[in-house]
Structure 1
Amino acid sequence: MSLVSDAALIEGLKAGGSQRQIFERDLYKAYFYLIQHGTKKYGITAEDAASAYSDAIISIIQQVLSARFEGRSTLKSYAYQIFSNKCVDLLRKETTNKRKADHGMSIDSLVMELPDGARNVVQQLIAKEQRTSLMLRLQEIGEKCKQVLLFFEDGYSDKEIAGIMEYNSAEVVKTSRLRCLDKLKKLMTGSSI
């Protein structure tokens, strides 16, 4: 049970400086018993429960400072709910990680689990790396193959490519293009991407 009132804790957290540190410590001590409760109720280790409790306290402090804690419940109830959610998150993560270990995951699946901002950055990096690898492989398949594939990627038809590159017919371009694509695929699958 907290010796300091909710109002005093909230004001102390908002005060800042060394005063805030004292109230952060008081808040941490106030509901410390939740760690033992978490180990019993959720069957998690004391270390995991302590980690969930620390995360819950940090979350409470952030929500008090950003005025997202509106005081519609006591800090005790609020702490209990956040702590419970953190424990459930741990259990879900553990279950998900076991499943991933059993089945393995593709890079795309892992990227989709990232937050939006991080996901976009990682996807851009992967795309850049793939493009760089593709350009290197295009150099390896020869100049004529490279030109045929680049013209095709730019939207030229086989007939147009035949005219530009002086092939006998669109069918010859198509056959050459398919061979070049096959060579490129073999090179790409042999690469680290």
Structure 2
Amino acid sequence: MSEISSRAADRAAEGAGDPDLVRARAGDGTAFTRLVAPLRRELHAHCYRMLGSTHDADDALQDALLRAWRGLARFEGRSSLRSWLYTVATRTCLDLIGNRGRRALPVDLGPSSDRAVVGDAPLTDVAWLGPYPDTGLAGGPADPDARYEQREAVELAFVAALQHLPGNQRAALLLFDVLGFSAAEIAAVMDTSAASVNSALARARKVVAEKAPSRTQQQTLRKLDDTRLREVVTGYSTALERGDIDGLVALLTEDVTWSMPPMAHWYRGLDAVADFALRIPLTRCGSWRSVATGANGQPAVACYLRDDDAGAHLAWSINVLTLRGGRIAEITSFVGPEHFAPFGLPASLP
């Protein structure tokens, strides 16, 4: 992955002579808010890559900006304000990683199940990876290639692979390969040597190469015409709403996987996935409604399940679809209404 820094944002919000910076150093909170506004989204995405959770990213960014506000007098302008804010945000995330550990997907916990597990209960003692709304990627560089790179850096497979790295390796990889920091700059961020940074980078790249596919979703989606992409997303939604197992199976690869954090069980292969789909979501759960959305730079479907007591379809899961060619190779259903608000989605549908 290449550098995705926004030089326009640098020019707009940095420099020792920036009037807002001068005012902010003098204690003007409104000026500080204006100063960091162009950078909030990219800083939030960075925190998500580091932490694997939108909610943790919210907390980290809030804490980082508070730290930056309190320490603004120490910013001397020798680096860009953007770089300094990334330093503060990265250190904040490293503190959180040290306290909370890494986030997981069901595939990290054990082997797949051959048949549907009825009554699968959520595991509440696991810190689960969460989805990231594509709206958080808006407002980035104008160059389409840069937007693709930004989306690659939040793809599920990449963020999941990052979770297998210690915090220092995770930070080094993101700062160098995604954001374009030099080894010397990263060493200053992490209070270590450039040699240690280069060593951390080498180890991190090895793990990510083993855990993440060589072909990114952005490469796949660029080769897929819009008509086929709509057919896949609409076909998935329609099959779920109609209980159509044949329609669903027609969309899947032979080695498809389906996981549902916070449920521990997951399924691999067409037979196992079809058995799960037929026995649970397509028949046992009841009436579904769905809304197309985007998560982690990938197509996604927000699913709502009918609740007769509430008289409505209630938010149930954000289903992130990983494609290979024109078919679905992975379905990751992030179960829980707490995932819907960051996507700007309602808590219920009629």
Q: What interval of TM-score do these two structures reach, taking the shorter chain for normalisation?
A: 0.3 to 0.5
Which one has a bigger Cα radius of gyration? 1
- In the superposition, the TM-score normalised over structure 2's length comes to 0.24
Higher relative contact order (CA 8 A, sep 6+): 2
